[in-house]
Amino acid sequence: MSVLLTIEKVIMLRAVTMFAETSEDVLAEVASILGEQEFKAGQRIIEKGEPGTTMYIIAEGRVRVHTGDTTVATLGERDAFGELSALDPELRSASVTAVDDTRLLCLDHEQLFELMSERIEVGRGIIRFLCRRYRGSVELAQKWGRDSEGRSLVPPPPFQTLMGPLELEGIPTRSRSSPIQIERGASPKQARS
């Protein structure tokens, strides 16, 4: 595989959700600092539990996100992964393996933070991307998330336990260890009385 030109990277970035609303000049700036890595089919890209600081965008190929033998997701061209480690360097939460011969564009933690501090639209795009991914995860958990006894891992609305209001400017509130218990169908006001 040959090295991608900056214009090719810009066109590719335009199709990535987190950069979809970013201007061409900012995309060109992002494209100029992206690294490239290539992986053969079956090659491990990320190992669960290892430290990480880099996010990846799939330029060509497909990857499998997994924990052990359980596939969490299969991602293809223009999908991104590893963004949490780029934002908050921690241990990787899943492994990622190339399904096909794969080319990745790479953005490291320091580069990402520098971009976000200089270009607010990059930060906004990443926040939008993370919100959409989070909402998708919640929807999946509500649909499929069950424990070993078949109970839902996500409580149905109205939530059975409500925490007190957030503590603001040192004003004491109900502690998190003593939540308000609400019977199904009762309003919070009825439960307190």
Distance between CA atoms of residues 174 and 166, nearest Å: 9
Distance between CA atoms of residues 47 and 132, nearest Å: 25
pLDDT per position as a tens digit, 122-174:
888 888 888 887 887 777 666 666 555 555 555 554 443 333 333 334 434 44
pTM for the model stands at 0.67
Distance between CA atoms of residues 59 and 54, nearest Å: 15
In this prediction, residue 51 carries a pLDDT of: 92
Identify whether the C-beta of residue 103 lies closer than 8 Å to the C-beta of residue 55. Answer: no
> How many residues does the structure list for the chain?
193
pLDDT per position as a tens digit, 96-116:
999 999 999 999 989 888 888
- Residue 86: which of 120, 46, 28 has the closest Cα? 46
Residue pointed to by tokens 């700036």: 29
Please report, in angstroms and rounded to a whole number, the separation of the first and last CA atoms in the chain: 69
Contacts made by residues 25-30, CB under 8 angstroms, sequence distance 24+: 26/119, 26/121, 26/122, 29/115, 29/119, 30/107, 30/115, 30/122
Maximum Cα–Cα distance across the chain: 70
Which neighbouring-strand residues pair with 181?
161
pLDDT per position as a tens digit, 47-105:
999 999 999 999 999 999 999 898 988 999 999 998 888 888 889 989 999 999 999 99
Identity of the amino acid at 191:
A
Identity of the amino acid at 106:
C
Distance between CA atoms of residues 174 and 157, nearest Å: 22
Q: Of the CATH numbers 2.60.120.10, 2.60.40.10, 3.90.1150.10, 3.40.640.10, which one belongs to the domain with range 6-144? A: 2.60.120.10
Angle between helices 6-14 and 24-33 (to 10 degrees): 120
Distance between CA atoms of residues 23 and 122, nearest Å: 10
Task: Grade residue 45 by pLDDT with cuts at 50, 70 and 90.
Answer: very high
Q: Is 103 helix (H, G, I), strand (E, B) or coil?
A: strand
Where do the domains of the chain lie?
A: 6-144, 156-193
pLDDT above 70: residue 186: no
